[in-house]
Structure 1
Amino acid sequence: MDSRNESKQEGVRALKEKLPQPDSVARGLAWFSIALGIAELVAPRMMARAAGVNAGPGAVRFYGLRELACGVGILASRNPRPFLWARVGGDALDLGTLALSSNKWSARDRQRATVAAVNVACVTALDVYAAKSAAAAPRLPSVDYSDRTGFAKSAEEMRGAALADFETPRDMRAPDALAPYTRSGQSAAQANVGRTGSATNGA
């Protein structure tokens, strides 16, 4: 009995490994939704003819906006599950539109509507699988940093600490030829003059 259960579990694990990962399915559905939405926005009449329905361009463009919103939401959101369920609802709306707005008088349009309904049903199955399997990204715990300043010590202790051992790099110093005309050069010259004057007075 145990061996049978183990074999069944191994078979289930093998089947899960063969199935595509929910994240990859969700990304694929997102790009499919974006591509379909762009096609419905750019060529609504052609898409309506391809589906065999008598839908106006405005309605088809509205469906295209819905597809674009769902696709972008799946790719950009940390939790794609609501957008995947929105796709499931959109698929149900598409199936209703195919059932109510298909041209029943034309055999070719009836065939196109049937093919479109089968395709929508297959995509709906993928949407349901991805929506049920997609896991929301874990929320990071909120941390309060209001009591942190970014300094190792208090502001009073850190004031002027960087200048204690700071030495101006050679390429940032004034050229030697201009050194006498800088403030530090003038101060050094004045100090030399002061020392010379004091020495002269002492003599």
Structure 2
Amino acid sequence: MDSRSEAKQESGRALKERLPQPDSVARGLGWFSIALGLAELVAPRMMARVAGVETGAGAMRFYGLREVACGVGILASRNPRPFLWARVGGDALDLGTLALSSNKLSARDRQRATVAAVNVACVTALDVYAANCAASARRLPSVDYRDRTGFANSPAEMRGAALSDFETPRDMRTPDALAPYTREQQPAAKVERRRAGSVTGEA
């Protein structure tokens, strides 16, 4: 691998580290959605004036309920992707409302509607980013390790391989004073077979 590819990989990793994490973005969007929804529920007419739109309090409260439901779903669900895509659909509805219901006769309301539309577009980009990252995480393939044994060779090939150069440690050998008695009771070949069987059984 040359220096150019290494530098490119390093810059890619650095950029990825600087980008906000999808989980953090999703949680932030969840809390933002709840806060915005509560504001639309408690003060619908004030929120309509801030956005520069002419819409009823009932419609604004409906938007608030949608925001609260999406926010609670993002924070409480293990898979926030459906609620993030629901936020994307809600953002499209908000943009349509700003385009159709804004007060075009007042220059101040037109300016407010434009600012609100820019803010909604920025939040929509975050919603799409978080939803796509959540979808990619859900599509990660599962790895099957059932054919892995952890051994370099088959068990038949490795059986007894450790005994080829194995020497019993000095502190594990039969004391010299007892060696004649143990050898008389158990021949050396039998002892070696038992030792080999115990070692291979533990392996």
| TM-score bucket (shorter structure) | 0.5 to 0.7
Tell me, yes or no, if the aligned pair for 1:81 and 1:136 is still in contact at 8 Å. Answer: no
Paired positions, count: 138
Tell me, yes or no, if the aligned pair for 1:80 and 1:136 is still in contact at 8 Å. Answer: no
Mapped to 2, the partners of 1:5 and 1:95 lie a distance apart of 43
Deviation at 1:7, TM superposition (A): 1.5
Give the corresponding residue for 2:83: 83
SS in 2 for 1:75: helix
In the superposition, the TM-score normalised over structure 1's length comes to 0.65
Give the corresponding residue for 2:5: 5
Mapped to 2, the partners of 1:2 and 1:92 lie a distance apart of 46
Deviation at 1:2, TM superposition (A): 3.2
Deviation at 1:137, TM superposition (A): 11
Give the corresponding residue for 1:49: 49
In the superposition, the TM-score normalised over structure 2's length comes to 0.65
Give the corresponding residue for 1:39: 39
Give the corresponding residue for 1:115: 115
Give the corresponding residue for 1:170: none
Deviation at 1:5, TM superposition (A): 2.2
1:128 to 2:128 alignment: yes
Mapped to 2, the partners of 1:52 and 1:75 lie a distance apart of 30
SS in 2 for 1:29: helix
How do 1:147-166 and structure 2 match up within 5 A? none
Superposition CA RMSD, Å? 1.6
With over 3 angstroms needed to count, the CA separation of the structure-2 counterparts of 1:137 and 1:37, relative to structure 1, is farther
Amino acid at match of 1:14: A
Give the corresponding residue for 2:172: none
Q: For 1:53-107, what per-residue CA distance to the aligned partner results, in whole angstroms no more than 9, with x for missing partners?
A: 0111111000000000000000110100000010011111101110111001000
Over the matched positions of the two proteins, sequence identity in percent amounts to 86
Mapped to 2, the partners of 1:2 and 1:88 lie a distance apart of 42
Amino acid at match of 1:121: A
SS in 2 for 1:104: coil
Mapped to 2, the partners of 1:121 and 1:13 lie a distance apart of 28
SS in 2 for 1:54: coil
Amino acid at match of 2:22: P
Tell me, yes or no, if the aligned pair for 1:70 and 1:86 is still in contact at 8 Å. Answer: yes
Tell me, yes or no, if the aligned pair for 1:79 and 1:137 is still in contact at 8 Å. Answer: no
With over 3 angstroms needed to count, the CA separation of the structure-2 counterparts of 1:137 and 1:64, relative to structure 1, is farther
Mapped to 2, the partners of 1:8 and 1:49 lie a distance apart of 49
Unaligned runs of 5+ in 2: 141-203
Deviation at 1:136, TM superposition (A): 4.4
Mapped to 2, the partners of 1:111 and 1:91 lie a distance apart of 19
SS in 2 for 1:116: helix
Mapped to 1, the partners of 2:57 and 2:139 lie a distance apart of 38
